[in-house]
A and B are shown apart, each in its own frame.
Chain A
């Protein structure tokens, strides 16, 4: 097993034989992007290799000229970069999110990026691929993180309009990924009324719809009080980015009841700190049991942990007889997990 060709560098994970970086933090000649969240998909690279959906979201966010060359590499497709073979596999994190599968010198290394195993109607489920070295995140790498069934959380959310008919149910969710997943889960649970959106949600929702994800009837919360009177939002779901929850924007809603969909909501003190009335434990990252189950399924001999609570995951790997090390990559945010 040879892992000398992949190493953590200041710009990100560097693939030496391809002269490429995975999710680089600064502009490079060749970037391979796992998914389109802003901290992973940055502007300024010469060439970008990513899935079609990831490239589409990047173009919408960063402008169509975000890179000189854009190379589509979809799930299951392979690309040769010198002697290295690059393949994409679904990561289940958000639309277009991919694990980067690298084969070189008889060694297979997978950089899983951010991933989850829980049900998500808006993206392809994570596909376990056997490998020699598995590079995992550890956002929820502590045994206290055991996420409940997302549909059970959605059921709690759906009970709110009846109990608080005079209040807008304001749900804080990351604009890309989490928001669309929530909408799809609400639809799956039977909510077929219009869902109202903060302006920041509109673009990402449109891309999801273009890629064939059914989100039902969506409407922006406009400043125009005539076309959308505030009281029309009472007893309705309004989705907004977490930063908008306590903002002046939220004050136009009728007595908003703040909810927040995030894996961090599992820790009561954290939910309370953010002034949330109804915390929803819904995450786009693998929880502790899923992290461990994934390690079992990919049967890697070595585990590298990128970012998150790596200490506990390293300890658990050691208990399982796995060779594990922390890469301590910095620069990847965990706020909206």
Chain B
């Protein structure tokens, strides 16, 4: 635990990816099994203790301190594990720190009551850094700036392997990854994915700019719409059929998405709501994504389908090394046998001869909210894991924008937990007593660190009311928000919901009265 808390703290303050990677490599090289595997699982979010939730930690903390003082502290610090670690009484004497395995095994088997006793017992013998690390580990969500990808990359570099090779077998592994380390250190064969319906690492696109687009030789590219759904992978093998959204298995939520009976392989595509000839809004898809399981009624009332755009594996054949043109040809043959009215559909290849035609098509995306731009894929591109350069491009349509007034602010979490960084913004409408502001969006990104500090200062100086952690501020600062689309929403007081709202510019110069009206935002619906 001592070296793990040291690792977590080092990762937290490491200035960049390179430094994080080197700390992770050191840890993998110097930590014995199974502790290094447990640590890795904690970092990649694959370690869960069902009975240790925020509620339990809050109870322990409130019991160990004063409930009011704890609430005030939590409001200020903004992070439950950190608040608890800092407010916990300092032990008279430090206990010998338990190993990770000595924590993981008992905590996984414990019921809620036992888990509470275990955790507070450990906390009573630890220093503040260890307490913080233990609570982060136990509640999950470490937030030390290590993605699953970076963790896997550290394994690859620690053992001088290609990251793609590690990601390929990752779905076959389970914490503490003994099979992985046994293979990497020559004690066992490489885990084999054949015959198993597992997630294969996705190929991702780079963003394209207008100037890049002018330079493209369109004859080299396959052009498709960029659909605004959820990227998923459908895998069918001897051991079953599974649907993945990245590494998450979402099969139970979408049981109707299956390949034709008997077909085995892996397809890459976009999950969309509605029917292939009448795509429904993202909100409809969201309703399905929010459900862990889907019964027959939900499947009927809120249908979904898979728009397929790539073929990775078919039977024993791995297609990923083949060029896109060949994969597409095979996909078209397969699609010809998919039943009409089924839940599989082939992504259309668009006829685009010149960069001008591409730009025109992109400009037209605006008319349909479910097309968020253009995809360009080199016809000779193999299917490579990750975001390889020079193969695939995405060119998103221009965002929509509106000038809104900041109404409420709240402290952020993680790196921003001591700053007011989450904002509710409103537009004007006619109220009973003249114009009134109605909230239309929450936004917490898009500003620079410097702008964030200025926003934080503005909030602190302009608080007019407090509702728990929420601060109401003077309605005087206008911010220009960018967003992808507007939808009707019965859940919001304004009746509209903005998709992916983010700050575009702070308009310190603009009087609040000149901000946008709700009607002008409603006019963007579907646009």
Q: Chain A residues in contact with chain B, CB under 8 A?
A: 142-146, 264, 266-273, 275-279, 309, 311-312, 315-316, 319
Contacts and interface: CB of A to CB of B under 8 A. Distances in A.
Contacts of A278: 13
Contact of A275 (B15, B77, B414, B418): B15
A277 B65 CA distance: 31
Contacts of B76: 142, 144, 267, 309
Interface string B310-322: 0000000000000
A280 B124 CA distance: 24
B86 interface: yes
B416 interface: yes
Given A142-B72, A144-B83, A315-B66, 18 more contacts: A142-B73, A142-B76, A143-B65, A143-B69, A143-B86, A143-B87, A144-B77, A144-B86, A144-B87, A146-B90, A267-B77, A268-B12, A269-B414, A272-B12, A275-B15, A277-B13, A277-B14, A312-B68
Contacts of B82: 267-269
Interface string B61-80: 00001101110110011110
Contact of A311 (B14, B15, B72, B83): B72
Nearest to A258: B15
Contacts of B69: 142-143, 312, 315-316
A267 B13 CA distance: 12
Contacts of B13: 271-272, 276-279
A264 B418 CA distance: 10
Contacts of A268: 9, 12, 79, 82, 132
Contacts of A315: 66, 68-69, 72
B72 A273 contact: no
B241 interface: no
B25 interface: no
A271 B9 CA distance: 11
Interface string B395-434: 0000000000000000000111111000000000000000
Contacts of A312: 68-69, 72-73
B77 A269 contact: yes
Contacts of A264: 418
A264 B82 CA distance: 13
Nearest to A266: B86
B72 A309 contact: yes
Contacts of B414: 269
A169 to B, nearest CB: 14
Contacts of A272: 12-13, 415
Nearest to A276: B13
B416 A269 contact: yes
B45 to A, nearest CB: 19
Contacts of A143: 65-66, 69-70, 73, 86-87
Interface residues of B, number: 29
Nearest to A148: B128
Nearest to A272: B415
Nearest to A318: B68
A272 B20 CA distance: 14
The 9 closest A-B pairs by CB, nearest first: A144-B86, A269-B417, A270-B418, A312-B72, A144-B73, A142-B73, A272-B415, A143-B69, A144-B87
B66 A319 contact: yes
Contacts of B416: 269, 273
B417 to A, nearest CB: 4
A146 B69 CA distance: 14
A288 B87 CA distance: 11
A269 B73 contact: no
A278 B15 CA distance: 10
Contacts of A142: 69, 72-73, 76
Interface in B29-76: 65-66, 68-70, 72-73, 76
Contacts of A271: 13
Contact of B78 (A145, A269, A275, A279): A269
A316 B13 CA distance: 33
A270 B77 CA distance: 9
Contacts of A145: 86
A9 to B, nearest CB: 20
Contacts of A275: 15
A234 B12 CA distance: 24
A303 to B, nearest CB: 16
B455 to A, nearest CB: 13
A312 to B, nearest CB: 5
A99 B82 CA distance: 34
Nearest to B461: A330
B73 A267 contact: no
Given A268-B12, A278-B13, A315-B72, A146 B79 contact: no
Nearest to A315: B68
A142 B83 CA distance: 10
Contacts of B12: 268, 272
A143 B69 CA distance: 7
Given A143-B69, A143-B73, A315-B72, A269 B79 contact: yes
B72 A269 contact: no
A268 B131 CA distance: 13
B87 A269 contact: no
A201 to B, nearest CB: 24
B324 to A, nearest CB: 41
A273 B143 CA distance: 13
B4 to A, nearest CB: 16
A278 B87 CA distance: 22
21 contacts: A142-B72, A143-B86, A143-B87, A144-B86, A266-B86, A267-B82, A267-B86, A268-B132, A269-B82, A269-B414, A270-B417, A272-B12, A272-B13, A273-B416, A277-B14, A309-B72, A309-B76, A311-B72, A312-B68, A315-B66, A319-B66
B40 to A, nearest CB: 22
Contact of B419 (A144, A273, A309): A273
A268 B133 CA distance: 12
B90 to A, nearest CB: 7
A271 B76 CA distance: 14
A272 B419 CA distance: 12
Contacts of B77: 144, 267, 269
Contacts of A311: 72
Contacts of B65: 143
